[in-house]
Structure 1
């Protein structure tokens, strides 16, 4: 056994609000330092050595994942204009291939594509495998075709830092145009196809400026359409499905503001404000034509905690409001998609996503009904303003990803495709249910459970458990299928999701009760879920591993300090474990934006003290029996810098934690490695570590 890398202690003092904190590992932040790179490489070598005995299990898991995936496959085609657009994958290839084929006039039934069978008239638009040649990392950001179908733009990232270079191709000649726009946040075509609208970022990686590039002109001559000065606000833009308006949106996590540009006029005209920003008020809009009048359907939370949907005149949006879907406590309205003759409203009720069909004539909402108790459903791939079908995505913990078309006349759900799972998978062999834990303050916290029935139901006997959590940004962990998860379930593991406060599962209050000065509820809820699984006879601490990533990695670090004996192991992916240091530094990417989520410790002593009381790095305890810990990170991550888990691991080792590993991808970003085979191998690495921690193989 080799010795773990020990990071040198170097004096560094952080002083705020009269508090002094000694931070001896802050020197690891110097990304360009050969010494830092050498330390990360030593950590990787140590992790390789400590997990070498799992090599055979990793390969077995990788082959299981690979063996369940139909490697040569095609998506369900989506109609846009006179073409069917789809993607396909080929056995042995890491990346997808974007394609299209001509559509017959008036035919809205997507062609049935068969793997390995040539598609008549197929045109390959972009082969990700070709694009990735010569690069260790490849991610496709924006991908768009012009409305007249003659041009395509795409935006690759070769570093993992989420800065994309926009490129353009003439689809008639196959020529790649000279137009190339580097370091963008992505972009899309103007409706006439002669221009590209794109965003750029400031030094803190915040999208702050919107530009118009005219094809055939120099980037230096691009027109600035909009700029957002406030460091708390992100900028984004899009074109309404009606193709009538350019919508420019700016927003923090608690406040938003939107502008319109009428595309029947000059695209460079001064954007027209819809509603002025008001602190704490969020809204978003869609364009509809109702009884011949241009209307905006606006979803907002002004005096409506779980949001309200109203209709206003597009010409006078600050005028009279007509309520379309009234606020109802506990029913969180998530979004609206407008089409020519109807709208689709997404909302969350009883912890699950719902879909409602809105009739413009009488504002009646018809909810679509699905068979399973736990499921996820959403509109997906509907670019056309008018179509006889509505494309829907559907999944559950046991039902593979499914594509339906809803016939708008008959309301029949037509199954277009269900993700094939090779090897004889049957959903009937697996179970899913909702359980409830009780937090210390009496709050009931939902837990989703998934298991293979042949091992018995949870609680029949003690079983190994994999408990996952997130709990930030009002992000909900909704039911979803995972091929890789089957390798756990088939070994008797019960997979569980703790739907802790800070997420959005049970409405806006659920989120508010897990942020800012209520953040500790996220951590104590997770511990309460773990304790419930033990009390109810599902598992015991020695047979439970916890997992979370990004803000969920902060959850993992906090839980390790709060309840180190409640878990056999903790997997923390790109973990936000040095949160206070990051949120104190407004020069770091995205910090100022994050103050609405965590609080502003730089200017508020109470926020500083509260964050310091829970942030994992500051609260590592000496001589505590920590569980096994695996931290995964990426050198080029711009959202959670690699230095956070690097410092955390160094401090854990200093405190005496004797089974702590750090794995740093040296050519990847926040989402980890690129390429599906690489991603499967990375997941196999994590699963092997978890199964080993649980005493399984």
Structure 2
């Protein structure tokens, strides 16, 4: 949902709930009834943004494979008759377009992002530049990522420039359009990677300062700091840490749409604590919670590590309503993801809270490929060799849980969604007795076949994540068994598999339904034990269950898990 600059109108997208992810766009005057005016000519938009004067709506439109490849705008003064006007188009199938604005409403921002490189163009609204005046900030370059905001006459950029390890630093360059942007080696670095033990993740701009969102370089826990811009003195920007509660394993920023705001709204939570809203004073740097202590504060959460086979310490989050470790061990629900540089959520969720109340241990294995320790952590889990590292990391976390008395192997339910299925199924492929049950939601399991199909929605965009079998190196790796061994379907071998439940949907636009079905069929044929391998199909779920069905699905998965462990 986007609010116009004058606050008179909103534009928002509606998910039709059929799993297609083909969003509908509506525009509505504040205070009017109903769903507002639907813009059928913008159906299938991926992102939307208002123009500075509220006369037009910009959007990114998807091509036939669902890739946001065009930026268009439409006149909303007469939306029923307006025809979209194309502003720019991205021909490279590896790049996806995104549309936004700087928070001060000075610039429209068009970003073109691949997995390991990016390119940004801006349109200066205050200078009266028209839609054909997009200005390139810096041309795309292999391996260079940068993301732009504007404040105080500068473009502030989160980027991996000037770093061989790929970690993000915070840079700035003058925003004037009269001269070309300097090359990355001349960008002014205002917060180098690793400053105060921070792994930079994101930032937000205000007139008073920048809010810097980061993670602890050792534990991967969330951190927050304010970058004081020091306009009056002209001194270098100063980074001031904001103390967070020790129990907070998740920090989610609010909308924070007001550039002139004096405070930053965040939400803090953990697997055992319901979300608590808090405001951060942007001048003093003090955090003030707006609600009381969570009633589930008796649940303890611990961030520790497992030691992988190469000696790497892998962050491991453990939650339990009772003593650490539980006397005699307990059933454990272990989650894993490890892909695309995304962090495994460590926030509060009602479906997970039900397990805690029933005496279960909850654990999150933050394996390589995720973003908990920054871009270097992601890079270490990428590609063919990274697939094996992710599985090693997961095995180390499970071993740590068992060796420290939290649970036993036969009482562990291993759960994964989407790309996390590569890691979870990879562990069971290697060691079928490593867990007591396996739960996979819309899992990505046939990596090699998908990466050989550029006609599928995400394949070309994700070559840099999983490998490109069409390249010479990728083809040789596949022939030599690299991808085949790491791919859960291609590398599946016989064994006594644990009880397994898989969800899949024919409307899933991200993971083709035939991948999970093929894996289930082959696993059944190769299963040397009595445990069932079940598939729960849903024709309309798409890649993830709709919000209205999420708890119902969680109940199904947990009922299966309890039955598989002999608890029901």
Distance, in Å, in 2 between the alignment partners of 1:232 and 1:565 is 39
CA spacing shift, 1:616–1:219, aligned 2, 3 Å:
farther
**Higher gyration radius (CA):** 1
Contact 1:395 1:401 in 2 (8 A): yes
Contact 1:166 1:186 in 2 (8 A): no
Aligned to 1:614: 486
Contact 1:244 1:263 in 2 (8 A): yes
Aligned to 1:403: 277
CA spacing shift, 1:398–1:172, aligned 2, 3 Å:
closer
Q: Does 2:533 align with 1:671? A: no
Q: How does 1:405-444 map to 2 (within 5 A)?
A: 405-417=279-291, 425-427=295-297, 429-444=298-313
**Which consecutive segments of 4 or more residues in structure 1 shift more than 4 A?**
172-175, 217-220
Quote the offset at 1:285 in angstroms: 1.1
Distance, in Å, in 2 between the alignment partners of 1:503 and 1:177 is 40
Aligned to 2:233: none
Aligned to 2:59: 198
Uncovered stretches (5+) of structure 1, i.e. residues with no partner: 1-142
Paired residues, number: 541
Look up the SS of the partner of 1:168 in the other structure.
Answer: strand
CA spacing shift, 1:492–1:179, aligned 2, 3 Å:
closer
Q: Residues 474-531 of structure 1: CA distance to partner in whole angstroms, max 9, x if unpaired?
A: 1112431122222212222111111111112123222111111322100121112212
Quote the offset at 1:365 in angstroms: 0.7
- Given candidates 169, 191, 198, the residue that maps to 2:28 is 169
Look up the SS of the partner of 2:119 in the other structure.
Answer: strand
Quote the offset at 1:378 in angstroms: 4.1
Aligned to 1:109: none
Distance, in Å, in 1 between the alignment partners of 2:37 and 2:198 is 49
Q: Does 2:189 align with 1:323? A: yes
Quote the offset at 1:644 in angstroms: 1.2
CA spacing shift, 1:662–1:365, aligned 2, 3 Å:
same
Compute the RMSD of aligned alpha carbons: 2.1
Contact 1:391 1:404 in 2 (8 A): yes
Contact 1:353 1:376 in 2 (8 A): yes
Q: Does 2:4 align with 1:146? A: yes
Q: How does 1:195-234 map to 2 (within 5 A)?
A: 195-215=56-76, 216=78, 221-234=83-96
Q: Residues 146-177 of structure 1: CA distance to partner in whole angstroms, max 9, x if unpaired?
A: 22233332222222211112122334654844
Distance, in Å, in 2 between the alignment partners of 1:179 and 1:439 is 52
Distance, in Å, in 2 between the alignment partners of 1:253 and 1:688 is 37
Q: Residues 330-367 of structure 1: CA distance to partner in whole angstroms, max 9, x if unpaired?
A: 74211221111211111222211211111101311111
Q: How does 1:547-586 map to 2 (within 5 A)?
A: 547-586=415-454
Quote the offset at 1:459 in angstroms: 6.1
TM-score by length of 2: 0.91
Q: Does 2:228 align with 1:359? A: yes
Contact 1:297 1:311 in 2 (8 A): yes
Q: Does 2:506 align with 1:640? A: no
Q: Residues 79-119 of structure 1: CA distance to partner in whole angstroms, max 9, x if unpaired?
A: xxxxxxxxxxxxxxxxxxxxxxxxxxxxxxxxxxxxxxxxx
Contact 1:376 1:396 in 2 (8 A): yes
Q: Does 2:352 align with 1:494? A: no
Q: Residues 624-656 of structure 1: CA distance to partner in whole angstroms, max 9, x if unpaired?
A: 100000001222111112221111111112223
Q: Residues 198-252 of structure 1: CA distance to partner in whole angstroms, max 9, x if unpaired?
A: 1111122111100011122567732111111111001101011100100010111
Contact 1:283 1:298 in 2 (8 A): yes
Aligned to 1:660: 533
Contact 2:306 2:313 in 1 (8 A): yes
Distance, in Å, in 1 between the alignment partners of 2:547 and 2:252 is 26
Aligned to 2:554: 683
CA spacing shift, 1:506–1:411, aligned 2, 3 Å:
closer
Q: How does 1:271-670 map to 2 (within 5 A)?
A: 271-289=134-152, 294-304=153-163, 305-315=166-176, 316=179, 318-319=181-182, 321-328=187-194, 331-349=198-216, 350=218, 351-361=220-230, 362-372=236-246, 375-417=249-291, 425-427=295-297, 429-453=298-322, 456-458=323-325, 460-516=327-383, 517-603=385-471, 604-608=474-478, 609-622=481-494, 624-656=495-527, 658-670=531-543
Quote the offset at 1:386 in angstroms: 0.4
CA spacing shift, 1:426–1:183, aligned 2, 3 Å:
closer
Larger RCO (CA under 8 A, 6+ residues apart): 1
Instruction: Report the more deviating stretch, 529-538 or 342-351.
Output: 529-538
Contact 1:228 1:250 in 2 (8 A): yes
Distance, in Å, in 1 between the alignment partners of 2:190 and 2:392 is 38
Contact 1:344 1:358 in 2 (8 A): yes
Contact 1:309 1:324 in 2 (8 A): yes
Distance, in Å, in 2 between the alignment partners of 1:629 and 1:308 is 43
Q: Does 2:134 align with 1:268? A: no
CA spacing shift, 1:414–1:229, aligned 2, 3 Å:
same
Instruction: Report the more deviating stretch, 192-201 or 181-190.
Output: 181-190
Distance, in Å, in 1 between the alignment partners of 2:470 and 2:3 is 45
Quote the offset at 1:407 in angstroms: 2.8
Aligned to 1:42: none
Distance, in Å, in 1 between the alignment partners of 2:292 and 2:518 is 44
Q: Does 2:101 align with 1:239? A: yes
Look up the SS of the partner of 2:351 in the other structure.
Answer: coil
Instruction: Report the more deviating stretch, 243-252 or 212-221.
Output: 212-221
Contact 2:243 2:287 in 1 (8 A): no
